[in-house]
Every structure is written in C-alpha cells, then in structure tokens.
Structure 1
C-alpha cells in the first residue's frame, strides 16, 4: 500500500492512498464465495451454483461492497502508519476505481490540533470565601415564607405588594391591539410584571374602581411593533388582597419534608442547604475563572468537523429545551457557533491537561461528591446506591471529578488571591456580579 500526505492547511490533510489490485480482487472473491454457499438460483441446488453464474449475478454488488471495506480499512491503516489523528470522517475522492487496476483514492480530512497546555502561572484566579451568618439564615427564612405567601381579600385601597384581580383593555391611537387586554388577571403590585407605570398607577385603587392609565411602552420592549408607542389602558379592579406570610410552625416545616424538629431543627436544615449551595457556588466561580484562563492562554485552531458536531448538539438541546414544531437543522448555526467553539476548545484543552498530567478520577472524591449530592434527598443511602448501580450516571460524576482535578492542577501554579465576601456576594451568579 502506498501513502503520501499533503498538509493543505494547519489542520487539513490530503492523503493519497494506493491499494494493489490483488487486495481488491481477493476481497471480491471472498464475498462471492460467501454468496455461493447460500445463493438460491432456480435450476441449481444450494451451494452447487457455478461460480460463473455467481459472478454474472452478484459481482457488481460484491465489488461495490469490497471497495467500501477496503477504503475504510486502508484509510485506518494509513493514518496509523502516518501517526495522524483524524478529527472527523474523510471526504473520499476516487482517482482510479477500475477493475483490474490498483485502487487509488484521495482522502481529505482534518486532524486534531497538536499542542501542549502551559502558562498556568499567568492565569489569575480570585478565590472567594464566605460563611452563612445568622442574618443570611434569617433572610433565607423570609424568602421561603414569601415563596409560600397566600392572599386574603381586604376592603381598603391597594398598596405595594398587594395582589389585585383586574380586567384591562389596552388601546393605541384608540384601537385595541393584540395582547393588550385580559380578564381576571392576578397582579402583585411591585412585581414588575407590567410595563413601567402600570403597577404604580394602581396603588391607591379600590375594588370596583376603574382607572385609566396613559403609558408608554419602553423603547427596548421585546415586541418591536409596540416598542416606544403610547398606549391607554382602562383597568377595572375586581378585588384587592393583602399578603399573609405563613408562620414558622410545624405545618410550614412539613412542606419541606422536615417534621418534628421545631424551629431550631428547621433552621439547622436550611443552614446546611445554604452551606452546600455556598460551596458549590464558590467552586463554580473558581472553575469558570480557570477555564477562562486556559482558553485565553492557549489559543488553538478548532477542527471544523468538531465545531459542526457541537453546533448540531446545541441545536438539538435547544429544541428539546424550548420545544416547538421546529427541526434542529432549521435553527441558524450562527446562533451556536461561539458557544460551540468555546466548548470544543475547552474539551481539547482539558483533555490535554489530563493527558500531560496523567490524571485519573479520584474514586474517593467521586464517592464524596455523590454523597454530597445525595444529602439533599430524604433517603441519601438509596441515592448513593442508585449511582453505583448506573454506569452511565457514575461515569458522568467521574467526569465532573476529573474536571475538578484539572482545576486543582491549574490552581497549583496559577496566581490565586483570596477574598472574603458575604454569603450573598458569593452565591450571586457571575453574570449578575459583572452587571453590578
């Protein structure tokens, strides 16, 4: 077998492969002999059909199959011989495909980029530390109470945080517009559900009262047909209800599966959950900084085949998440290109860090992570057992742990500064923190 390789770009390879005709014919003959043993042709007993008849009927198909197999096998042999690592399937272009002649074809494909991950010492990481203070716990209890709020009707003027039941009709230039009217809508004043001025305009209204609100849609309103336009809303207030927060009692605790422990036991359980959330938030922020640093300090070229595959995966995920009567390939690739590129780059870099440092999942950390995740459930032992009985789920946890070990490896050489912050700042999502 003859092989020659041409580098047509940083990652693309154009490989010409020649296979002796004898190998093709041997593969064709093998297939014809297999066919002859089972062929059922009128006038002949099974297994007794003359080879000339077999060739006449089946050689074309046998040769097509043989060529496909030989190309696949010879391509694999060639990349092993040339020490190449293809990043996707090759595009095959025949040069000589004639019977009795040596097979010659060109395989064009991309290879994985070759690089060494380095410059860990130039990566800067801010490592946050925080504690769950009693005031943080008190705030969380109030949040939980508000999430379980109920409303009771009152005979007074509406105040902020009251819930109103309203009917309204919206008009632009005297004409009703699509989506501008509703009946029996529940609206909590101050929730920010409606456009600016709508909820404020209902403060002080009473049940049975009608209010006319002259407002403007924001310039950046999501419905471009309404953005920036003036509108008149006629609102009828059907009822006014005030918020009633639940008491911190056994009935309330029972909603969270915590019974017969009293307030102290409930506070202890909530604190434990907050501490778990805190650890996860800090760990995630450190990981994001490390991954950002790896990407910025290790620029690599991405094989198009890998990028296309990742875009397709993101398309499928988007359709699964948002539903709708749309096929994944109908979503523009451009929507996912940047995210896909980052994921591919990170995948390549993380794999290289694992390879260079000979990392393997620490099974003790795997069990520790599973136990921590299981602690959020009422019967953690069953959750732990479930993970260890499901190889697919267990391997996912191993992958997470391996990524954590990559982060630890980078942190050993990175420029790490420690910063003590409040619980709220530590758990705040990175996007919100940047916006502030």
Structure 2
C-alpha cells in the first residue's frame, strides 16, 4: 500500500492511497467464494454452482463491496501509519477505479490540532471566600415562608401584596381586544404580572367593587397592535385576600420532609443546604474563570467537522428544550456557532491538560461527589447505590471530577486572589455581558 500526504491547510490533509490489484482480487475472490456456498441458481444444487457461473452473476456486486470495504480499512491503516488523528469522516474521491488495476483514491479530512496548553501563570483568578452567617439563615427562612404564603379573605380595602380575585374586560377605542378579558383571575397586587398601572389602580378596592381603569401598554409591548395604546378595563373585584406567612412549626417543617427534629433541626438542615449551594457557587465561578483564562491563553483553530457536530447537538437540545413543530436542521447554524466553538475549544484544551499532566479521575473525589449529590435527597443511601449500579452515570461523574482536577491543576499555577464576600454575593449568579 502506497500513501502520500499533503497539508492543504493548518488542519486539512489530502491523503492519496494506492492499493495493489492483488489485494483487491483477493478480497473479491473471498466474497465470491462466500457467495458460492449459499447461492441458489436454477439447475444446480446449493454449494455446487460452478465458479464461472458465480463470477458471471455476482462479480460486479462483490467487486463494489470489496472496494468499499477496502477504502474504509486502508484509510484507517494509512492514518495509523502516518500518525494522523482525523477529526471527522473523510471525503473520498477515487482516482483509479478500473478492473485489473491498482486502486487509487484521495481522502480529504481534518485532523485534531496539535498544541501544548500554556499560559497558566497569566490567568488571574478571584476566588470568593464566604460563610453562611446566622443572618443569612434567618433571611432564607423568611424566603421559604414567603414561598409558602397562603391568602385568607379579608373585608378591608386591598393593599399592595394582597391577592384579588377579579373579572375584567379590556377595550381600545370602544372595541374589545383579543386576550384582554378574563373571569375569576387571581392577581397579587405588586407582582408586576399585568401592564404598568393596572395593579396600582386596584389598590384600595374592596370586594364587590367595580372600577374602570385606563393603563397604557408599553411602547415595546410584544403585541405590536397594542403597543403604546391606552386601554379601558372594566374590573370587578370578587374578593380580597391578605397574605398569611406560615409559622415555623412542625406542619411547615413537614413540607420539606423534616418531621421530628423541631426548629433547630430544620435550621440545621437549611444551613446544610445553603452551605452546599455556597460551595457549588464558588466552585462554579472559579471554574468559569479558569476556562475563560485557558481560552484566552490558548487560541487554537477548530476543525470544521467538530464545530458542525457541536452545532447540530445544540440544535437538537434547543428543540428538546423549547419544543414546537420544528426540525433541528431548520434552526440557523449561526445561532449556535459561538457557543459551539467555545465548547469544542474547551474540550480540546481540557483533554490536552489531562494528557499533559497524566490526570486520572480520583476515586475518592468521585465517592465524595456522589455522596454530596445524594445528600440532597431524603434517602441518600439509595441514591448512592443507584449511581454505583449505573455505568453511564458513573462515567459522567468521573468526567466532572476529572474536569475539577483540571481546574485544580491550573489553580496551582495561576495568579489566585482570595476575596472575602457575603453569602448573598457569593451565590449571586454572574451577569451575562451585554450583547454587542
């Protein structure tokens, strides 16, 4: 087998492969012999058909099959011989495909970029330091109470924060418009659920009262037919209910699966969850900074095949997430290219760090991660057992642990500054940069 390789770009290779005619004929004959053992030809018993008849009837198909298989097998033999690492399937173009002659074809494909990850010392990391203070715990308990607010009917005038049951009909220029009417709708005043001015105009209303209000739709309202227009709503208040926060008692604790440990046990459980959230938030923010730093320090060219595959994965994920009667390929590739490129480049960089530093998943960390995830459930032992019985889940956990080890490796060399912050600041999501 003869092989020659031409570099047509930084990542593209054009490889010419020549396969001797003897190898082709050997493969063709092998297939014809296999066919002869099972072929059913009128006038002959199975297995007794003369080879001349088999060749006359089946040689063309056997040759096409042999050539196809040879291209596939010799391509991989050639890339191994040439120490190439293809990043996608090749485009194959036959040059010589005649019976009785050597087979020659050209395979064009991309290879994975070869590089060393560098620039660790140039990466600046701000690592947040925080703890769950008693005041943070008290605030969280209030949040949990508000999330479980119940409303009870009252006879007084409505106040901000009350829940009203209302009927309303909206008109513009005396005409009822689509979507502007409803019956028995529950509305919490101050929630911002309705257009500006609607909820404010109902403060002070009582059960049984009817009001006519005239709010204006925002200029950027999603329905362009209504944007910027002033409407007239006839509103009937059916009832007014005041918010009632639940007491911190056994009934409330039971909502969270805590039945016997009382207030102190509940506080301890909530604190444990907050501390877990804090650890995850700090770890995530450090990881994002490490990945951004690695990207900035290691610009590499991305194989088009890998980018296309990742774009297609993101398309499928988008359709699964948002639904609708649309096929993934109908979504414009440009919507996903930036995210896909980041994912592909980071994947290549992380893989190279693993290779450079000969990293392997630390099984102690794997066990700790599974234990940490399981602690969020009421029966953690069953969750741990489930993970260890599920090879795919274990593989995913090991991948996450290995990525954490990559982050730790970078942190050992990066410029790390610790910053003391409050719990609220530490867990606050990072705001996405404004679109250009």
Aligned residue number for residue 344 of structure 1: 344
Distance 1:212 1:102 in 2: 90
Aligned residue number for residue 408 of structure 1: 408
Structure 1 position 296 matched with structure 2 position 289: no
Distance 1:224 1:28 in 2: 69
Distance 2:93 2:75 in 1: 12
What pairs up with 1:254-403 in 2 under 5 angstroms? 254-403=254-403
Measure how far apart 1:275 and its partner are. Answer: 0.5
Aligned residue number for residue 13 of structure 1: 13
Measure how far apart 1:432 and its partner are. Answer: 7.2
Measure how far apart 1:171 and its partner are. Answer: 2.9
Measure how far apart 1:131 and its partner are. Answer: 0.9
User: What residue ranges of structure 2 are gaps of 5+ in the alignment?
Assistant: none
CA distance change for structure 1 residues 105 and 173 in 2, over 3 Å: closer, same or farther?
Answer: farther
- TM-score normalised by the chain length of structure 2: 0.96
SS where residue 418 of structure 1 aligns?
strand
Measure how far apart 1:331 and its partner are. Answer: 1.6
Structure 1 position 134 matched with structure 2 position 134: yes
Distance 2:80 2:54 in 1: 36
Aligned residue number for residue 119 of structure 2: 119
Distance 2:20 2:174 in 1: 83
Deviates more, 1:175-184 or 1:292-301: 175-184
Structure 1 position 200 matched with structure 2 position 200: yes
Distance 1:233 1:332 in 2: 41
CA distance change for structure 1 residues 202 and 410 in 2, over 3 Å: closer, same or farther?
Answer: same
SS where residue 318 of structure 1 aligns?
helix
Measure how far apart 1:109 and its partner are. Answer: 0.8
Deviates more, 1:175-184 or 1:251-260: 175-184
What pairs up with 1:126-275 in 2 under 5 angstroms? 126-275=126-275
Measure how far apart 1:329 and its partner are. Answer: 1.4
CA distance change for structure 1 residues 143 and 204 in 2, over 3 Å: closer, same or farther?
Answer: same
SS where residue 218 of structure 1 aligns?
coil
Measure how far apart 1:67 and its partner are. Answer: 0.9
SS where residue 230 of structure 1 aligns?
coil
SS where residue 321 of structure 2 aligns?
helix
What pairs up with 1:37-116 in 2 under 5 angstroms? 37-116=37-116
TM-superposition CA deviations, 1:80-109 (whole Å, max 9, x none): 111111100001111111111111111111
Measure how far apart 1:226 and its partner are. Answer: 3.5
Distance 1:126 1:224 in 2: 45
Measure how far apart 1:221 and its partner are. Answer: 2.9
Distance 1:214 1:47 in 2: 92
- TM-score normalised by the chain length of structure 1: 0.96
Measure how far apart 1:206 and its partner are. Answer: 1.6
Distance 1:271 1:355 in 2: 39
Measure how far apart 1:235 and its partner are. Answer: 2.2
SS where residue 419 of structure 2 aligns?
strand
Measure how far apart 1:319 and its partner are. Answer: 1.6
Distance 1:97 1:366 in 2: 54
CA distance change for structure 1 residues 129 and 223 in 2, over 3 Å: closer, same or farther?
Answer: farther
Distance 2:302 2:221 in 1: 38
Measure how far apart 1:373 and its partner are. Answer: 0.8
SS where residue 431 of structure 2 aligns?
helix
CA distance change for structure 1 residues 122 and 173 in 2, over 3 Å: closer, same or farther?
Answer: farther
Deviates more, 1:346-355 or 1:180-189: 180-189
